[in-house]
Amino acid sequence: MKFEFLNPTHLVFGAGSLSRLGEVVRAYGKKALLVTGGGSVRRNDTFDRAVSSLKAAGVAVAECSGIEPNPRLSTVLRGAGIARSEGCDVVVALGGGSVMDAAKAMAATLFYEGDPWNMMTGQKNRRLPEKALPVVTVPTLAATGSEMNGGAVITNEKTTLKSFVTAGCLYPRAAVVDPELTLSVPPDQTAFGICDLMTHVTESYFNGVDGTPLQDRFAEGVIHTAMEWGPRAVSDGRDIKARAQVQWASVVALNGWVQIGTLAPYPVHMIEHSLSAHHDIAHGAGLAVVNPAWMRFAARTRPERFAQFAERIFGLSPQRPDDSEAAAQGIDRFEAFLRSIGCPTCLSEVGIGKALLERYAKDTLLVAHDADGRLPGRPSMSEADIVEVLRSAL
């Protein structure tokens, strides 16, 4: 293993920490662009409490509301325009992953010359952002880990491509992570978030380089924690202990710790992004469909890795040297867990038919491909492979 690692985000975690928002933001600016989604934060008292905390700390507020799930490029431009005209010097993201991603992209767009879509992976003339307004994240949904990473996922509604940018300047300066804010998340979105955080670690577990035993254990720890506490958060949304454990797992799942040294590409995510770009489905729901199908495909070339997963996660006993049976059973158990918490596991359940399978595969490869034009992963995938995986999920 050989790596460098830096995650500069100051994490403030715990029930009630929203009250510290103003004190945290004041260190970075005097006027905040407060970015919010479609209204969930106004349906409870989260928005009012955030504004009170900011104002009490002497931070003025300009609002950019209405960030849609799977946030659009035009929304990023709108928010950057508000920040510019209002003279904001800090951005506060109060919402789910969509709000946080849009807020990061807005913060960078302010300093970016030209079309901000050129920041995104897959663009021929790609240029990473080098500067952004400071961002403070306040997640209201446990899922993406965007609160403590340097990534943003944006959809270009003109081309129906969903892509991502990862850059040092996009790391939030601080993340105020208050599990109480997730108490109002409905069961379906709670389950999708659990699937998302689990998929973040299965991606690195199955696609990373060999010889990362500690990272394996980190990933397995996140999965066990999600499987222990996730069902409780789904069945009783008011269970603050369960909400806190799920949210902590979601932070750890994609703040970089689990992935250190694995150099893992994220093929399941790349495929899912094409689905949510075209059909506006919840990211975690799309992953619940794609991940088991992808696992069955990938297990053919590396059954021993999937047998390890089956053994360590589900306590199954591989009949070595033939690992394929245990590998298949482990994937079945994983899929069954996703179903048990209310996730869809086939395309028809998210309203997707077979008409555009080739198109999703082509779009996936437009965003992410290696020198041979294949989707990076273990194994790397051709367009036909991606279509095969999606067809198996119909």
* Binding string, residues 331-350; x marks residues near ligand NZQ by CB under 6 A: --------------------
Residue nearest to Zn ion (CB): 196
Residue from the set 109, 149, 215, 345 that interacts with ligand NZQ by CB under 6 A? 149
- Which helix (H) or strand (E) element contains residue 165? strand 161-166
Can you tell me the distance from the alpha carbon of 184 to that of 57, in angstroms, rounded to the nearest whole number? 26
Least Cβ distance, residue 344 to Zn ion (angstroms) = 16
| Residues contributing to the site for Zn ion (CB under 5 A) | 196
Strands (E), 220-359: none
- Reply yes or no: is the peptide bond before residue 321 cis, omega within 30 of 0: yes
Restricting to residues 67-86, which ones interact with ligand NZQ according to CB under 6 A?
69-70
Give whichever of 92 and 253 is closer to Zn ion, judged by the CB atom: 253
Partners of residue 139 on adjacent β-strands = 95
Q: Interior CA angle at 226 toward 99 and 16, to 5°? A: 55
Can you tell me the distance from the alpha carbon of 132 to that of 124, in angstroms, rounded to the nearest whole number? 22
Question: Pick from 285, 262, 121, 242: which is nearest to 202 by CA?
Answer: 262
Select from 4-12, 24-32, 73-81, 141-149 the region that touches ligand NZQ (CB under 6 A): 141-149
Distances in Å between the Cα of 243 and the Cα atoms of 8, 154, 175, 190 are 25, 27, 17, 9
Can you tell me the distance from the alpha carbon of 84 to that of 148, in angstroms, rounded to the nearest whole number? 25
The site that binds ligand NZQ (CB under 6 A) totals a number of residues, namely 34
Q: What is the largest distance, in Å, between two alpha-carbon atoms of the chain?
A: 66
118: number of Cβ within 10 Å: 16
The listed partner (ligand NZQ, Zn ion, none) that binds 204, CB under 5 to 8 Å by sort, is none
Give whichever of 202 and 345 is closer to ligand NZQ, judged by the CB atom: 202
Dihedral sign (CA 138, 139, 144, 148) = positive
Can you tell me the distance from the alpha carbon of 346 to that of 288, in angstroms, rounded to the nearest whole number? 8
Restricting to residues 26-45, which ones interact with ligand NZQ according to CB under 6 A?
37-41
Restricting to residues 42-61, which ones interact with ligand NZQ according to CB under 6 A?
none
Give whichever of 273 and 374 is closer to ligand NZQ, judged by the CB atom: 273
* Binding string, residues 98-137; x marks residues near ligand NZQ by CB under 6 A: xx-x------------------------------------
Residue from the set 144, 163, 225, 308 that interacts with ligand NZQ by CB under 6 A? 144
Give whichever of 90 and 234 is closer to Zn ion, judged by the CB atom: 234
Is residue 303 at the binding interface for ligand NZQ, with CB under 6 A as the rule?
no
Partners of residue 163 on adjacent β-strands = 154
Can you tell me the distance from the alpha carbon of 222 to that of 246, in angstroms, rounded to the nearest whole number? 9
Is residue 182 at the binding interface for ligand NZQ, with CB under 6 A as the rule?
yes
Tokens of 375: 């989707």
Select from 8-16, 54-62, 183-191, 220-228 the region that touches ligand NZQ (CB under 6 A): 183-191
Residue nearest to ligand NZQ (CB): 96
Give whichever of 17 and 40 is closer to ligand NZQ, judged by the CB atom: 40
Interacting residue ranges for ligand NZQ, rule: CB under 6 A: 37-41, 69-70, 95-99, 101, 140-141, 143-146, 149, 151-153, 181-182, 184-185, 189, 193, 196, 254, 269, 283-284
